[in-house]
Structures are given as structure tokens and as C-alpha cells.
Amino acid sequence: MPSPSSPSGSPHVLPRYRAIVPEWDRFVDACLRPLPTVVRTNTLRIDPPSLRKRLERQGLSVSPLPWEPMLLAVDRPVGATIEHWLGYLYVQEAVQSLPVLALDPRPGETVLDLCAAPGGKTTHIAARMDNVGPLVANEPSGRRQPALLANVNRLGLLNVTNTGYRGESFPLAAAFDRVLVDAPCSAEGTLRKEPSLRGGATAGAIARLARLQKRLIVRAYDLLAPGGVLVYSTCTFAPEENEAVVMHLLETRDARLTPASLPVDASPGLSSWEGVRFPTAVRRCARIYPHRLDSGGGFIARFERP
């Protein structure tokens, strides 16, 4: 359903967040612009300069993003190119690379992607690990598993084991050095490619998702080895799915919230929302807005287990 319009004729964009989003007019303008096409270089198969040359030879305009050379902005879709089918690239919003940069997985570590389909972050993690060390890609949805498996195979991942557990009940038999929870969410941050989301998610959907997210983040933390790192991320702006979920983990476990150290301009986590005050440490979280990054929006929290 189209979002309502104001008397001036401009569409309302996520009106419930007007009080918390900095530079509101720039935010709205960015949300109404088409989303740029960005691809992530699959460094398991090619380096960014070589991929750029191959795409330019086909007549594409290609520009590396200044904060992450693996990401290339292109001027038209690339899904039908031979480079795509050879697994040289993954089409991905720029913002979606940030959770993996915050996770910072290393070769030889044991890593879990708890909500893995369709595989963008799993394939990014494997590339950062240089295909060395066990990487578990977990996806409970049978409908989404084929896309995950296809991308794992297309991009040449050799260190991935696929599982299909419900994330909130993933077995505690193993301990991981790093765990990523890119949680199912109301996806308001994807509104540039899904205009139906401009009006925001319903209160009922946000509440339902927040209950699941709280179960996921606790199980993910319990799966960490001592000294392990957990990154929790969403592609939504709803504090109920972001800061409130982080607060839940801080209240139920001895988790240490640390700065995500992102290479882009992000806003800190909120201090309060609708009468609820969040712990001071929640300011270490990162809120990513489209007008700061020219991408979608999202939220990232990074934890360490003592």
C-alpha cells in the first residue's frame, strides 16, 4: 500500500522516527532516491581491480567505494554477466557488508552465521577467512535454504557446513570464536528498494519479531567461547528490535558491549525510546542511516564474552 502524503505532497517516510533520526530532511530525501547497485568482490576468486577491469570492458561504469575497496558501485544490473555466474561477485547493498566488518572473522577461527540465507554474509565471512576454518551457515527455513546453498556453491566456499536448526534452539554442543546474528526483522531499512515499507512496520509485527530476536541473541551469546565475539545486526530502525534487544542481553547475561568500529559515519544507539531508558553502554551500538551511506539502513551491536 502506498504511504500517505503530507499536505505539501511529499510522502511521509517512517514518521515515528522523526524525533530520533538526525538531519531528517536529508534522511527522507535519501529514502526516496533509487538504491545504487553495489557488488562485493568475491576475493576467493578475483581481486577488485581485476573485477573492475572485466566489468568496464563490458561497458559498465564502475567505482570502488572509498571506505571498502571490495565494494564496487556499478551503473546497471550485473546479474546476467558471466562474472556473476562465475562467482566473481555478489550483488549486495553496501550497508549489508558492515556486520561482517564488525565481526572481523579470521582464518582458522570457528564461526557461526545463525540466520544465514540467502548467503550474502556467509559468503563474505568465508572470504574474510580465506576459506580456512570451520564456518557453520545455519538457516531454519526450508524455502530459503536453496538460495543459500546456491550462493555457497557459486562463490566457491570450501569451509562451510550448512545446518537447519531453529536459531533460538541451536545445539550448545560446540563453542564458536565468532557468531553473527543478522536477525529476521521488520526490514524498514530496505525501504529504498521496497517502497511499501515507507510507512513503517505494524506494532504487532515489530513486537512479534522482537520476541524472536531476544531468544536468538541469548542463544547466540551462549554459543560463544570465552573471549568470543558476537555481532547482532538488523536492517530496521525500530528501537524495539535494536536497542531493546541489546538491553535484554545485557540484563540476562554477563555480556560486554564494545564499539563496532565501522569505517562509515554512524549514529550511536539511543539513550531512550517511548519512556524506556537504555543502559549507557547501548550508545556503543551503531545506527546506519541512508543519507550517511547512500545505501539502506541498519543497526549493529558488537559484544565480547569475558
Domains of the chain, each with CATH number or no CATH: 15-35+95-304 (3.40.50.150), 36-92 (3.30.70.1170)
Q: What is the pLDDT of residues 32-80, one digit of tens each?
A: 999 999 999 999 999 999 999 999 999 999 999 999 999 999 999 999 9
Q: In b/e form, how buried is each residue of 111-136, taking b as 16+ CB within 10 angstroms?
A: bbbbbbbbbbbbbbbbbbbeeebbbb
> What is the DSSP code (8-state) at residue 302?
E
Q: What is the pLDDT of residues 236-283, one digit of tens each?
A: 999 999 999 999 999 999 999 999 999 999 999 999 999 999 999 999
pLDDT of residue 11: 57
| Catalytically active residues, by annotation | 235
**Which residue type is seen at 29?**
D
What would the grid cell of residue 251 be?
540484563
Residue 156 above 60 pLDDT? yes
Mean pLDDT of 132-136: 98
pLDDT of residue 5: 38
E strands, the chain, in order: 37-41, 62-65, 68-74, 89-91, 111-113, 135-138, 160-163, 176-182, 224-234, 256-258, 267-268, 272-273, 276-277, 286-288, 298-304
Nearest to 70 by CA among 116, 128, 122: 128
Q: What is the pLDDT of residues 171-183, one digit of tens each?
A: 999 999 999 999 9
pLDDT of residue 8: 35
| pTM (two decimals) | 0.95
C-alpha torsion angle, residues 206, 212, 213, 219 (rounded to 10): 170
